[in-house]
Amino acid sequence: MTTVAEVAQDILDFAVAALGPRAPVRQFLAAGIVAYDCEQVSVSWAARGLYPSETFPAATTLPAKRPLVTVTDFLLETVRCVPNINSEAEAFPDPIDLTMTAIEIMTDGETLYCALVAAMQAGTLFGGCRMASLGGAAPYGPSGGMGGVRVPLSVQVGCEPPQGS
Each residue's pLDDT, cut to its tens digit, for the chain (165 residues) gives 468 999 999 999 999 999 999 999 999 999 998 988 889 999 999 988 888 877 777 765 555 566 677 889 999 999 999 988 775 667 788 899 999 999 999 999 999 999 999 999 888 888 777 788 999 999 998 888 899 999 999 998 875 444 443
- Which helix (H) or strand (E) covers residue 105, if one does? helix 95-122
pLDDT at 107: 97
Q: What is the pLDDT of residue 50?
A: 86
Distance (Å, rounded) from C-alpha 126 to C-alpha 11? 8
| pLDDT of the residue at 79 | 96
What is the CATH T-level fold of the domain 4-157, as seen in this structure? STM4215-like (3.30.2000)
- Would you say 12 and 43 are in contact if contact means Cβ atoms under 8 Å apart? yes
The reported pLDDT for the residue numbered 165 is 38
Assign 154 to helix, strand or coil. strand
- The burial of 149, by beta-carbon neighbours within 10 Å (0-12 exposed, 13-18 middle, 19 or more buried), is given as buried
Find residue 69's DSSP bridge partners: 53
pLDDT of residue 163: 42
Instruction: Note the pTM of the prediction, 2 decimals.
Output: 0.85
DSSP assignment letter at 127? G
- Residue 65 has a pLDDT of 60
What is the pLDDT, as a whole number, of residue 88? Answer: 63
CB 77 within 8 A of CB 105: no
* Domain segments of the chain as ranges: 4-157
pLDDT at 160: 46
- In the chain, how many H helices and how many E strands? 2, 6
DSSP label at 158? -
What pLDDT sits at residue 164? 43
